[in-house]
Amino acid sequence: MKLHLFALSVVFTSLGDAPATATPAPASNLIAQDHRKWDDGTRIDLAWDLSADDETLVAAYRISKALARFGDFQVPLKFELVEIVKAGTGEYTVADLARKIRLENIKTKYADIVDIESLEATNQKTFPVAYVFQIVAVGRDGATSAAATTPPITPTMEWFDGGRFWFLIIVVIFCGAVIFFIQLARGGRPLKVRKIAGLEAIDEAVGRATEMGRSCLYIPGILDMNDIQTIAGINILARVAKTAASYGAKLEVPTSRSLVMATARETVQGAFLAAGHPDAYRKDLIYYVTDEQFGYVAYVQGMMVREKPAACFYMGAFFAESLILAETGNSIGAIQVAGTAMPAQLPFFVAACDYTLIGEEFFAASAYLSGSAEELGSLKGQDVGKIIVGLGIIIGVIMLSAASVILDGSPGSPFGTALLNAVEYLKQVILT
Amino acid sequence: MQGRTLVWTLIFVIAGVWLLLRATTGSGMGKAYVKRTDQQFVNVAEAGEAAEWIEVHTPAARAYDFQDLPRYPLEERVGWTEYDPAPPKDWAAAEKANPGQQTYVFSLWRSIGLWLAAMFTFGIFSFLYRDNPFYKISEAVVVGVSAAYWMVVAFHTTLLPNLFGKILPTWIQSWAMPGLKEERNLWYLVPLVLGVMLLWRLMPKGGWISRWPLAFFIGVFCGLRLMAYMHGDFLMQIRSAIVPLGVFGPDGFDFWESLRSVFLIGGLLVCLVYFFFSFEHKGFVGKTAKVGIWVLMITFGAGFGYTVMGRIALLAIRLEFIFDDWLWLIDPTGQRIGL
Amino acid sequence: MKRLIPLWITAIAGIVLIASYFVPYAQGLGELTSIWFDILAGFAFILGGGNLLKVHLKKVSDKVAGWGYSVILLASFLITLFVGLGKIGVHPSPDYPDNSWSGVYNEVGSPFWWLYEYAFKPLTATMFAMLAFYIASASFRAFRAKNVEAVLLLGTAFIILLGRTFAGVWLTSWLPESLSGLKIENISVYIMQVFNTAGSRAIIIGIALGIASTSLKVILGVDRSYLGSARSEP
Amino acid sequence: MNAAWAWTILVVVVGASLVVLVTRREQTYRALKDLDRRWIFLLMLLAVAIPILGELTFPEKPTGLAKAVFDEIEKLEPGDKVLMAWDYDPASEGELGPMATAFTYHCCKKGLKMYYMTIFSPVGPQMIDDSINNVLKTEFPHYEYGVDYVNLGYKPGYEGVVKVIVSDLKELYTTDHYGTSTRDIPMMKDIRNIQQMDLIVNVSAGYAGTKEWVLFATTPYPENIKMVAGTTGVMAPGMYPYIPDQLLSLLAAIKGAAEYEELVMSAYGNDDLGLKYRKGMLRMGPQLIAHVLIIILIIIANIIYFAEKRRGAA
C-alpha cells in the first residue's frame, strides 16, 4: 500500500512541473495466463518484456486490472490498481481474483455498470468472470508510458490445491503412522507406553465415592460437540461410567449444551450396558443446565456444595470456570481429576486439582483407560508426529545457525546463501 | 449460632438504614435517567410505488413539505418514542436550563433494574460466605434467564436467517426480516432434515435415528479440526520455532540473543520429550522429561501470574458498579457533575 | 446395524472434509457444514429446554426441598423466552417502520434488553468476578515450595505478579542501566517470551497431535463411545 | 474517600497485622495453619475496594509490546481501513473495555475507517455500541455512520465466519447490525473481503477470538492480513508463540491497556478528557494492592509450610 502511495504521489508531482517530461517506452508482449501452479482459481500470471527505457527512465511498472465480462456480457472497463513493481521486474502474479460471481453479488456490487435485467433474463445463478490487465511504465519523473493491455482471461480452478502439496505429504505421513501402529496392534504386537500419573486415580476416586456413599460428578467441558475436546471428554466419560456402573456408584453429568447431553446419554447408557448393569442407568442424572458459561457454573458450584460429590472429573474444554469448579471441589474435599487442552486453564487445574492431564495426555487418556491395544497404537503414531517436529526444528536450526555463522564470517559466501535459501524453502514452502 | 444470627441481623439493619439515608438525602443514589426522542415516519413514495419512509427530524426530510396534510395525511404516519440511557449529568444540565423539561426524564423501570442488579451482585458474592437463599435465588434466575437468552439468540440469529431465510426467503422477508435479500438455497433442507432426525428421539419409537445427525457432525468436525490444527498449529509452530542459535547483530556475535534462542529451542525440545509416550520416564529420557516438566511449570506459573491480573480487574469493575453506578460514592468518569 | 450405519456416516463425512481441504472446488464445504451445525444446535435447544422444563416441573410437582427456587427458575426462563421470541416492546427498524417485526430483538429499552442488562449481565459478570477470591485462596493453599516443580511454579508466578505492576518496577528501579536486563519488568517479559513461549509451543504442538489422532480414531471407528458402544468391537 | 484516607486505612491494616504477628507468634501460627479461606476472601475484598474508593493510581511505563501495537496503528494513513473485531462480552468488559475504548479513540484520531464486527458472542454488538456511544458519538460527533464507521454486528459460526469473510465479506454480511443492507452503506461499497483491510484490531476474551483470527485469517494470508490484538490476561501467554509472525503484537490484559492508554494519551490526549481514557490506569490501583496481597499470602503460606516441617521434624 505504501508503494502505491509513492507511485501516485510521483504521478501527481509530475503534473505539477510545467516542462514536458520524457515519457518512457511502454512494456511490450504482455501475456496473461492462468497461474502455473495448481491453485484454487484466484490467480493469473502476467509476464512482459521490459520497456526499452527500463534501465534509464523507468522507475516502476503499474499493474492494473479491470472486469471485462460477466459470462457473455461486456462490462465497461474500469481499471483499478493492483500493485506497483520496481523497474526491472518482468513478471507478476495477480492474486485474489474471482473465477465466478453470483448474480446476487453482481447486483450488490456492479449494478451501476451492467444491465441486471439481461443478466437475470439468462436465469443463470452465477457467471464466469473475465479480466483484462494493463501495464504502464512509470518514469522516474512521473511520466507514464502508453499502456500494454491483455485480452480478457478467466482464472481456472484445478482439482488440487498445489500450494498444499507438502502439507498433504506431512498429513499422509502422520495419519499413515497412526493407522500403521493401530494395524500393528490389531495384529497382536504388544506396544509399550509409559504410565500417566492420574489415570489410576480415576478408578480409585470412583471407588472411594462408592464407599462414602456419595456421588461422582463428571463435567465434559462447556463447548459443544463440534469441539474435539468434548468428544475426547465423552470418550473418557464412557470409561468412567463403566467403572461407576460396576461399583454401583451414582454418576451425575450436568451439561451446558443440549447436544452434549444427548450424546452423553447414549454413551453412559452404552457403558452401563457393557458393564452388565443396563437397569442401573438413570438418564435423568444426565441433564442440560444452560448454554451460558457462568449460569452453568453458578448452578454446578451450588450443586457441589449441596450434594458434596466425593469425586469430581473435569474432562473437556474449559475456560474461566476451571478455577471456580476446582476451588469449590477442593473446599468440599473431593478427589479431583482434570484433563483439558486449554493451555490457559492448565495452571489452575494443576494448582487446585489432585491430578491433571496436560494437553496431549488428555487425548491419550481414553486410549490408556480403554486398555485396547489398537487405541494405544495411535499414541505411537503421535510420537512419530513429535519426531517429525523434532527433526524439522533441529535440521532447520542447524542449517540456519550454520548459515548465519558462515555469512557473518564471509558475507555473500555461496554456501552460506545456499543454506539460507534451503531454510527459506523449508519455512516458506514446505511448512506452509 | 444464636450470636451469629444476631450479628447478621444487626449488619443487615445498619446497612438498610444507611442505604435509606443515602437514597433519600442529598443527590440520592441508584437513579437511572433516559433521553426521550420522538420518531415520526412518513411514506414519501408515489402511489403504487414501494414504500419509502423518511423520519421527519432527519436532514433528508427537509426535501418534503410535511405540512401538506392532504399529500401526507397524519393518520398514515408511523411513530414512537425511544428512550436511550443518559448520564445523570445530562439530566441535571437540562433541568438547570429549563426546569420541568421532558427530554431527559427519570426512568423508574431502569432504576428498579439498577437496584435489582446490585441485589443480584450481592446475592452471588454471598456464596463466598456460605450457600444461602439469596444465592439460590440468584442462581435460579441466572440459569433461567440465560438458558432462554441463548435460545432466543439462536432463533433470531441462526434459525430465522440461516434456515428459514434460506429455504423460504420471500416468506421470511415478508414478515420477519424485510432487510433480507437472499435467494432460495435448497441445500439448507439438509440441516432441516438432520434437525428433525435429532428430535425424533422424543418419539416413542425409532429414537436410534437421532444418532445419524450426531454421527454426521462428529465426522465433519473431526475432519475439519484434524486439518485446521495440523496446518494452523502443528506446521506453524515448527516454522516459527526455527531460529538461528547464534545471533549476529551489527556488532558481531550477540551473546544474550543467542542464549535466548538456545533456551527457546532447548525448552521446546525437552517439553516434547516429556510428552513422548513410547518411553518410560527413566534414565536419560527421565532426566530430560524432568527438565521438560520444569519448563512447563514455569509456563504455568507465568499463566497463573498473568491471569491474576485479569481476574482482579473483573472484581474491580463489579465494585465500580456498586460504588459508582449504584451507590454514587465515586465518580471517576464524571457522570454526575452538577447533580 | 443400528450402530454400523452411523459409523459409516462419520467415516464418510470425515474423509470428505479432509479431502475437501485439498480440493479447491470443495474448500467452501467447511463453512457450509459449520453453518449447518449451528442450525442443528438451534434444533437441539428444544431437547435442552424441554429437559430443563421437565426437571424443574417435576421438582415443583414433587414438592422436593427447595422447589420454590425451581418456580423462580421456570418463571424467569419462560418470561425471557416469551419477550425474546415475540420481540415484545421492540420498535420497528427505521427502514421499515410499518413492519412491527423488523426491529432488532435486543433493542435498547425493550423488556428483553432489560432482562439482559439488569439480570443476565450483572449475574454472569459477578460470577466471573468471584474468580478474584478463588485465585487468592488458591495461591494461599497451592503455592507451597514442596518440590522443584512447585518452587518454579510459584517463583514464576511471583515474578510475573510483581513485574506486571508498578511495585515491581519500583522495587528494582535502583538497578543501573547496564543491568537493566535484571529489572523485574524486563525479567517478566523475558520469561514470557522465552520459557513461556517454549512451554506453550510444546503444549500447542502436543494438542494438535492429540486432536489429529483423536479425530482420526473417531473417523476410523476405532473410538466409537460417542455412539454408546463402550469400546471398539473387533 | 480520598487517596490519603485509602493509604491510612491500608497502612493501619498492614501495621496492625504486623504487630499481631510479632507479639503473638504462637497464636497467629495456629490461627493461620488452618485458616478459614473466608478471611482471605475478606482481605481480597478490602484490597480491591479501598483503592477504588480512594481512586489510587500509579504511573505507567509502556513496555515493548504495547509500543509495537501503538506503532502499528501510527503507521496507518488517514482513510486506511481497520477491522475492529470486538470479540468480548460484558463478563470480560472489566478487563477489555479500557483497551477497546483506547483503540477506538486512537483510530479516530488517526482518521481511519472503522469496520466493527464480533464473532465471540451475540452480546458482542452491545460492546461495539458502547465504543460507538462513549467515544465516537461524544468525542468525534462529525464522524458519520456508514461513512467513517460501521457496526456489522454478530454472526454465529465462530471461525466459520472468519473463513468466509477472508474471501467474501458480503456472503455473510448482507446487512449491518441494524438491518441496513450493506449495499446501501457507502463505506461497504467496494469492500469484497477483509484482505482489503489495512489492519485488524482484535479485542478478544476467548473462543472465538484472537486464536481463530490467527489460524484462519493471518495464517493463510500472511502478506495481505496484518493484525494486532488485545486479550485477557488468561489468553495472553497462549498468544506469545504467534508473535510476531502471525500476530504483530499484543496488549496483555489491563496492564497492557494501561500502557497503551499512556501512549495514546501522551500523543493525543488533553486534560479536559479527565480519566475517561485512563480506566486502565485507574484499575491498576486495585491491581497493585491485590497483587501485593497475593504475594504476601504466598509468602505466609510458605513460612507456615516450613514451620510445620520443622515442628514435624522436631
List B residues 219-278 in contact with A (Cβ-Cβ < 8 A): 221-222, 225-227, 230-231, 234-239, 241-248, 252-253, 265, 268-269, 272, 275-278
Q: Is C119 on the interface with D (CB under 8 A)?
A: no
Residues 118..157 of D with a Cβ closer than 8 Å to C: which?
Answer: 122-123, 125-126, 156-157
The whole-angstrom distance between A224's CA and the closest CA on chain D is 12
**What is the residue extent of each domain of chain D?**
3-56+280-313, 64-269
- Residue contact C33–B220, C-beta within 8 A: yes
Give me the helices (H) in C63-164, please: 67-85, 111-115, 121-129, 131-142, 148-163
Question: Which residues is A149 bridged to in the sheet?
Answer: A134
Which residue in the set A195, A225, A305 is minimally distant from B214, CB to CB?
A225
Instruction: State yes or no: pLDDT of A109 exceeds 90.
Output: no
Query: What span, in angstroms and rounded, lies between the C-alpha atoms of B277 and A385?
Result: 12
How far off is chain B from D38, nearest CA to CA, in Å? Answer: 6
Q: Contacts of residue B310 in chain D, CB cutoff 8 Å? A: 92, 95, 232-234, 253-254
How far apart are alpha carbons A307 and A297 in whole angstroms? 15
pLDDT for the residue A409: 81
Say what the pLDDT of residue A289 is. Answer: 96
Residue B318 forms contact with A (CB below 8 Å): no
Residue C133 forms contact with D (CB below 8 Å): yes
Kindly state the average pLDDT of the residues B16-36. 91
Query: What is the pLDDT confidence band of residue A82, given thresholds at 50, 70 and 90?
Result: confident
| Nearest-by-CA chain B residue for C158 | B305
**What percent of chain D has a predicted confidence (pLDDT) above 90?**
33
Who among B178, B231, B313 is closest to D95 (CB)? B313
pTM for the complete prediction? 0.84
Q: Which residues of D touch C169 (CB under 8 A)?
A: 61
pLDDT tens digits, B37-56: 898 999 888 877 888 888 88
Conformation bin of residue C24: beta by default, left when phi > 0, alpha when psi is -120 to 50: alpha
> What is the least distance, in Å, from the CA of B7 to any CA of chain D?
17
User: Residue A20 has what pLDDT?
Assistant: 46
Can you give the pLDDT at residue C231? 43
Report the topology of domain D64-269.
Rossmann fold (3.40.50)
Question: D125 with D151: CB under 8 angstroms?
Answer: yes
- Strand intervals (E) in D46-87: 81-87
Q: Which residue of A has its CA nearest to B240?
A: A427
Q: How confident is the model at residue A154 (pLDDT cuts 50, 70, 90)?
A: confident
d(CA B316, CA C7): 51
pLDDT at A260 over 90: yes
A18 pLDDT above the threshold of 50? no
Indicate the SS3 state at residue C147: coil
Closest CB to C129: pick one of B154, B271, B318: B318
In this structure, the dihedral spanned by the alpha carbons of residues D104, D106, D110 and D116, taken in order and rounded to 10 degrees, is: -20
Q: How far is B283 from chain C (nearest CA, A)?
A: 19
- Which is more confident, C32 or B268? B268
pLDDT at C29: 86
Residue A1 has pLDDT above 50, yes or no: no
**Residue of chain D whose alpha carbon sits nearest to that of B87:** D134
H-assigned helices in D86-217 = 90-109, 124-131, 137-139, 159-165, 169-172, 210-213
Of C102, C125, C154, the CB nearest to D179: C102
Cβ–Cβ < 8 Å for C126, B274: no
Q: How far apart are CA C191 and CA B301, in angstroms?
A: 10
How many residues appear in chain B?
339
**pLDDT tens digits, residue range A133-143?**
999 887 776 67
Q: Does D170 touch chain B (CB under 8 A)?
A: no
Question: Chain C contacts of D302, Cβ < 8 Å?
Answer: 143-145, 154
Backbone φ and ψ of B298, nearest 5°: -60, -45
| Chain B residues 11-70 with a CB less than 8 Å from chain A | none
Alpha carbon distance A314, A205 (integer Å)? 13
pLDDT confidence tier of residue D41, bands split at 50, 70 and 90: very high
| Chain A neighbors of B243, CB-CB under 8 A | 397, 400
pLDDT at D40 over 70: yes
pLDDT higher than threshold 60 for residue A168 = yes
Name the residue ranges covered by the structural domains of chain C: 133-227
User: How far apart are alpha carbons B236 and C208 in whole angstroms?
Assistant: 11
Residues in contact with D103: Cβ distance below 8 Å, sequence separation at least 6, in sequence order: D73, D84, D201, D203, D230, D260
A294, A327, A362: residue with CB nearest C124: A294
Contact C128, B312 (CB under 8 A): no
Instruction: Indicate the burial class of D283 (C-beta count within 10 angstroms; 0-12, 13-18, 19 or more).
Output: buried
Write down the pLDDT at residue A429. 83
DSSP letters of D33-46? HT--HHHHHHHHHH
Residue of D nearest to A322 (CA): D234
C76 touches chain A (CB under 8 A): no
CA atoms within 13 A on the CB side of A59: 18
Q: Taking 80 as the threshold, does the pLDDT of residue A8 lie above it? A: no
My answer on whether omega of the bond before C132 falls inside 30° of 0, hence cis, is no
Interface of A with D (CB under 8 A): 1, 5, 96, 105, 107-109, 223, 293-294, 317, 319-320, 331, 343-345
Distance (Å, rounded) from C-alpha A311 to C-alpha A325? 12
Sort out which chain A residues have CB atoms less than 8 A from D80's CB and list them. Answer: 1
* pLDDT in the model for residue A3: 42
* pLDDT of amino acid B59: 67
Chain D, 233-252: which have a CB under 8 Å from a chain B CB? 233-234, 236-238, 241-242, 245-246, 252
| Nearest-by-CA chain D residue for B150 | D122
Residue A21's pLDDT band, with cuts at 50, 70 and 90, is low
**Omega of the bond leading into D90 within 30 degrees of 0 (cis):** no
Tell me what the mean pLDDT of segment D270-277 comes to. Answer: 76
Q: What is the mean pLDDT of residues B84-91?
A: 87
Residues 86-105 of A with CB under 8 A from B: 103-104
Flag whether pLDDT at B295 surpasses 90. yes
Contact A170, A388 (CB under 8 A): yes
CB contact (8 A) between residue A344 and residue B303: yes
Determine whether the interchain pair B124/A298 forms a contact, defined as Cβ–Cβ distance below 8 Å. yes
Tell me the chain D residues in contact with residue B121 when contact means C-beta distances shorter than 8 Å. none
The answer to whether the Cβ–Cβ distance between D295 and C161 falls below 8 Å is yes
- Provide, rounded to the nearest whole percent, the portion of chain A with pLDDT above 90: 43
Q: Which residues of chain A neighbour C231 with C-beta distances below 8 Å?
A: 238, 274, 370, 372
pLDDT tens-digit series, residues A395-415: 999 999 898 888 888 888 888
Alpha-carbon gap: A21 to the closest alpha carbon of chain C (Å): 48
Compare A142 and B298 and report the one with higher pLDDT: B298
Is A221 in contact with A321 (CB distance < 8 Å)?
no
pLDDT surpasses 50 at A52? yes
Instruction: Look at residue A341 in the predicted model and tell me its pLDDT.
Output: 93
Mean pLDDT of chain B: 89
**Which A residues in the span 347-406 are in contact with C, Cβ-Cβ below 8 Å?**
347-348, 350-352, 358-360, 362-364, 366-367, 370, 372, 374-375, 378-379, 381-382, 385-386, 389
User: How many angstroms separate the CA of residue D96 from the nearest CA in chain A?
Assistant: 15
Q: Do D93 and C132 touch (CB under 8 A)?
A: no
The yes-or-no verdict on residue B183 having pLDDT over 70 is yes
**Could you tell me the domains of chain A?**
2-160 (2.60.40.10), 199-353 (3.40.50)
Low-confidence ranges of chain C (pLDDT < 70): 1, 229-234
For residue A122, give the DSSP letter. Answer: T
Segment B144-164, tens digit of pLDDT: 999 999 999 999 988 998 899
Asked if D31 has any chain B CB less than 8 Å from its own CB, the reply is no
Residue-wise pLDDT tens digits, B186-239: 889 999 999 999 999 888 888 889 899 999 999 999 999 999 999 888 988 898
For B164-182, what is the mean pLDDT?
85
Q: Which residues of C touch D58 (CB under 8 A)?
A: 165-166
Nearest CB neighbour to A344, from listed D189, D193, D235: D235
pLDDT at A198 over 60: yes
- Among A160, A295, A385, whose Cβ lies nearest the Cβ of C209? A385
Chain D neighbours, 3+ Cβ pairs < 8 A: A, B, C
Whether chain A has a CB inside 8 Å of the CB on D44: the answer is no
